[in-house]
Chain A
């Protein structure tokens, strides 16, 4: 009995890895067996080889570094403004009434449609790429922060007042920490869209001078270097996963109580 359960537990642990490896193996066999041209679908071995070359000549790091810098710049800008606006909306009725129509009108607008306008105003340099990602990430961060403040347990506010906290002390010591789990989930959503928008902006307004993963992808696609397209996608996938996992780890470190419930 125990033995079968051990087997089952083991199977459950290795199945995710097996699923990926199996898929890659099928892909390899399919490409080799059917003789698919690399320009349509390169074999996994070819993709790994290309990736290795890009690592050796350092080009992947240049592009990845440029993209990461833009992601963090855009994210920090969005986090800073989004949290402040969200907190102000949640804590001040007047500010909420002023900001509400703007949020309501701009939230559903696909932010990517602002790209032409931003290119007209800012050109296709760093400012445009950072701003388009920051504008997009601003909304989920501001909305989550606002919701977090609004959903604060009234009982906790009353308890703090009973223990002698004044208005500012309640805001700093109760409302802000109570909103942290909500702010963090807003930041995670914001990080997701920042990654998307930076890569998209690099694809649309990218140049060899500015570089970036989006530029690398679109350029490789235009000259039919399909191995390079796949290699870039692999790097982008790993980058996104690392950022999101790192952010979750940081959240747990900064607010251990938020995951205790």
Chain B
């Protein structure tokens, strides 16, 4: 599904009547079936953008439209075709893994037996077989993120929004999860918007890397990533990957410095 973001601004009310501009006129066309990574320093509004596209936050101004796949010119309501995977997973701690994964189906009124069977299958496919009856706090971070991924995938929505999903994982777990996400993407070809602050991750996963400026966030440059699929982590050691990394790194370095300066100013931290 094509997603058009036109001149989106997001302004938060700050302390003492001041305003914090999180996003300052973000425009980009996310193409259907492509994996787009949004790369930017902390506080650049990239998570906010994902939430706006998912219909979970309302932009101060600007528009987001998701084209109806069957009927050109028609758009679908925001949130109806997308599902979010969160950095902190947001699993319900009082529900077992299978109950968490089946949550969306339960809300849509699917009978218990049917939704449980579907959830069981998906849990097995993300490698969590045997942990169906565990509660989220009993699992490791990587396992919780697998469960969160299953909970999103079970919705079978064409747009997958991912807000730094592997940001809190240790380096090894992160690599395993990235490779599994690549497999899932290459098998399903969903439209993915993946928010990250990791340059390697953005290049390894994405068909394009949207580099953002420090706050107020806007697009600095879009780097196309024409590396062949299917991909694996071996890609990281190729010269092509290195070139893209350098390019992205030089773009982002100044922005990270700017973001750090702003964080240290009084009233600047988010």
Contact = CB atoms under 8 A, between A and B. Distances in A.
Interface string A247-258: 000000001111
Given A164-B155, A257-B135, A257-B137, 14 more contacts: A153-B90, A155-B86, A156-B90, A158-B56, A160-B107, A161-B56, A162-B56, A163-B104, A163-B107, A166-B107, A169-B107, A255-B94, A258-B94, A260-B137
A261 interface: yes
Interface string B93-117: 1110000000110111000000000
Contacts of B104: 163-164
Interface in A33-67: none
Contacts, number: 62
16 contacts: A155-B86, A156-B90, A158-B56, A158-B90, A159-B86, A159-B90, A162-B83, A163-B151, A165-B107, A177-B94, A177-B95, A180-B94, A257-B94, A257-B95, A260-B137, A261-B137
A68 B125 CA distance: 53
Interface string A210-252: 0000000000000000000000000000000000000000000
A163 B54 contact: no
- Chain A binding surface, main DSSP class: helix
B88 interface: yes
Nearest to B54: A162
A163 B92 contact: no
A261 B88 CA distance: 15
A256 B135 contact: yes
A79 interface: no
B84 A162 contact: yes
Given A155-B90, A159-B90, A164 B107 contact: yes
A255 B93 CA distance: 10
Interface of B: 51, 54, 56, 79, 83-84, 86, 88, 90, 92-95, 103-104, 106-108, 135, 137-138, 151, 155
A115 interface: no
A164 B137 contact: no
A147 to B, nearest CB: 18
Interface residues of A, number: 24
A198 interface: no
Nearest to B138: A260
A155 B92 CA distance: 10
Interface string A140-177: 00000000000001011011111111100100011001
Given A174-B92, A257-B137, A163 B103 contact: yes
Given A155-B88, A159-B84, A260 B151 contact: no
Contacts of B94: 177-178, 180, 255, 257-258
Contacts of A159: 84, 86, 90, 92
Nearest to A166: B107
A160 B93 contact: no
A260 B96 CA distance: 12
Which of A161, A256, A257 is the most central at the interface, judged by chain B CB atoms within 10 Å of its CB? A257
